[in-house]
Each structure stands twice: as C-alpha cells, then as structure tokens.
Amino acid sequence: MVLPSRPVHYLIPMVAFAATVLLLFHLLDFPTPTSPFPTTTTTTTTTTKTLTLVPKAKHPFTDLISAYSQWDAEIGCRHFRDGNEWKRNSSSPIQELEGGSGCAGVGMEHVSVLVKGWTWIPDNLDNLYSCRCGLTCLWTKSEVLADRPDALLFENVMPPAVRRKGDPLRVYVDLEASRKPSGFEDIFIGYHAKDDVQSTYAGAFFHNNRNYHVSSQKRNDTLVYWSSSRCLPQRNKLAKSFLSLVPHHSFGRCLNNVGGLDMALSLYPECSNQDSALHWWDHLHCAMSHYKFALAIENHKLDSYVTEKLFYALDAGSVPIYFGAPNVWDFVPPNSIIDGSQFSSLEELASYVKAVADDPVAYAEFHAWRRCGVMGNYGKARAASLDTLPCRLCEFISRKGGRNAGTL
C-alpha cells in the first residue's frame, strides 16, 4: 500500500480525554477566550481513529474539485477508511430505531397524528407514511383528514391539562436547549436520547424552500462564514474574539460586516430564489458554500444539543468550526468538523484554520467522509431526525395503545 507522503497527524485521543475531563468541570460554561481550553498536544500515537493531516502546503487554492483530486492522488479513500475505521458505539447517545425489541408491542396497523398547535413544524411533513412493522402513519395538520386522531401534537403550545380514557394521547415537542416538558403530555419529544422519542437536528425538513446551489469555488480571501440573528451575549463575545483573528463575513444581525442583511445576494446572485420573497436565511446554504469554513456556536453547551447550525454547514460543504455539545463527535462523521474546544486558545485555532485553508489536501480531507462513505454515528443521527419522526412517533403511540392507553 502506498502511504501518504505527508505525516498523518493524530492528536485526538489525548486531547479528547483532556477535553472530557475539563468539560466535566465546565459543563455549563461557554468557552470564552480566557477559559482554560485543554492543551493541544501533538502526538504520534496511532490508537486514535480520527483527525486530519498537518497542513503543509502554502497554496491558497479556490477550486474544491481540484483539491479533491489532489487528495485522491496523495491519500485516497482506502487509506482514509483504514485510518478511520469507526467503532460502532454501543452507548451512543442516539436512540436505536429498532428499539431492540423488533416489532413486539406494535399492536395497531394505522396511527393518525393531528398536529394541533405549532410554530415551526413544517407543513410538508404532512404525509401518509408506510413505516416498519406493517404500520401506516397519517401525520397531518388537518382536522378534516384526521377527525379521530390517535394523538394530538403540540409544539410551543400547551396540551390540554386533562386526558380521559378514549381521548387522543397528548404529544409535546420541545427541541430547544431547555427541553422542558409541559407537564401535561403523555409523550415527550426532545433532542436527547432520554426523551420518549428523540428528534435530532440532522434532518432535511429543518430547511425547506431554500436555494441549495453549492459552489465549487471557495473564496481564498475571506475564509469564514458566520450568520446569527439572536445576538446572545456569550455567543457574540466568543464569535467576536474568534472572528477578529480570521478574515470572515458575517451576514446575520449580529456583528454584520457585509453592509446589511441581504448582501449575500449581491455577492452571490446565483443564490437567489426566484419564486419566493427572500429572507436572508433562504440563501444561507448557498452563500455558506462559497466559504471554506462556517462558524457554528450553540447557544448552550449541553450534552447531545447539536443543532442545525452545525448540520447546515455539513450540508452546504463548508467545514464547521464548532463550539457546543461536548459529545458532538457522536453526531457527526469522522474528521468532518473542527472542534473549537480541542485548541488551547483561539489564536491557535485561528492559525490552524488558516493553515488548513492554504493546503488543498488537508482541506479536502475534511470532505473525505462524504466522498468515501465513512459515516461513524452520523448515519444514526440522521436516521433519528425530524425527517423520520412521524414513523417513530406512530410506533411509540401504537405501543402505548393509542386512544386506549390508560390514564395516569
């Protein structure tokens, strides 16, 4: 086998361990430039399964496809797969779709869910689904189509305080960091595996009707994309400190440095969306795809709270620079993101980002998972997303007995 001409840089295991230890003590603290980041240690240990090449080249390339070709010639999928053989994680923080018990307990052949109160649940999730175990599942916002539903679903709207036997089950959804049950639901849906039904953010239904053009040309003058419109003080502070160290564009309301909210369209006319009045987020994916990196900072640093901010960037082919869930690696493909918490300072992170940006082979390696099919737990994270929620919820309702479920 031909080995890569560059040294492969394995720094995850010690750093990850140090990060875990530190995070135990700083679970709810958001990293700030002054917080004690774990020290990045360079090591040649080979027990690890991830991390990217040490950037070496000084070539501020723009063409992504030719970067891929260079990586193919120097490294290649076979070597990447060998180096990233990913252990199936039996204690993964993602619910098993099969529930371990096969189809036992799925007693109903058809379940209907009426979406009764909502703020963001997308209309086009409405469908009649064919699920596993011979179950069909009607998910609808129409009281005409589901006049006698087995369950009522509420999102950001309180369910009725009382349920009598024979009434539909009450389902409550809260995917926010707070994950707060209403107190009146029979079934709770949150982002965490401990909730009755889990819904990760790794789903296509979180972004509808947008422009999905993906640019093959990356900017080499401005490296980092950021957009945020809830200017939370901690997030803003971290973003400001980091962005001051790297050439960037900020498109949202917070720290906007491009001259307004719709500037992405002047910069990238191909990102317009003919058929709808545009919000700046309608061209978010397309705009992001012009940058080598996208900064993604969660509003809370919580176990398993990995949101669309990260998945949008992966979907758009922009490498996320991530600050958030300590267990983020359980939700993303191997070698797909730059985890800010693994650097000893923002300066060190910034110089790493700049070095990767100038090395087509090191940069292309962040896209290898998609091109070589090395997914780790990412397949599971996607399979447990909003996209598959209807079938998974209907199955849960069926196991409970639908309207015939007992009352508490």
Ligand X SMILES: *[C@@H]1O[C@H](CO)[C@@H](O)[C@H](O)[C@H]1NC(C)=O
Using CB under 6 A as the criterion, which residues of the chain lie in contact with ligand X when the complex forms?
60, 62, 87, 89, 91-93, 220-221, 327, 330
The C-alpha atoms of residue 83 and residue 44 are separated, in whole angstroms, by 13
Which residues are bridge partners to 338 per DSSP? 321
Q: Is 81 exposed, middle or buried (0-12, 13-18, 19+ CB in 10 A)?
A: middle
Strand partners of residue 31? none
Give the angle 16-327-18 at the CA atoms, nearest 5°.
Answer: 20
What gap in Å lies between CA 180 and CA 175, rounded to an integer? 9
147/221 with CB nearer ligand X = 221
- Closest to ligand X by CB, 149 vs 360, is 360
* CB 237, min distance to ligand X, A: 28
By C-beta, is 64 or 111 nearer to ligand X? 64
Nearer to ligand X, 234 or 327 (CB): 327
Residue 197's φ and ψ, nearest 5 degrees, are -130, 130
Residue 38 Cβ, how far from ligand X at the closest point, in Å?
Answer: 15
Contact 170, 187 (CB under 8 A): yes
- Please state the closest distance from residue 59 (CB atom) to ligand X, in A: 8
- Residue 61 CB, shortest distance to ligand X, in Å, is 6
Nearer to ligand X, 39 or 220 (CB): 220
- Report the alpha-carbon distance of residue 360 to residue 357 in Å, rounded: 7
188 in Cβ contact with 393 (< 8 Å): no
Containing 378, the helix (H) or strand (E) segment is: helix 378-383
- CB 73 to ligand X: min, Å: 19
CB count, 10 Å around CB of 129? 17
Residue with Cβ nearer ligand X (47 or 91): 91
Cβ-based nearer residue to ligand X, 62 or 236: 62
* Distance from C-alpha of 341 to C-alpha of 40, rounded to nearest angstrom: 10
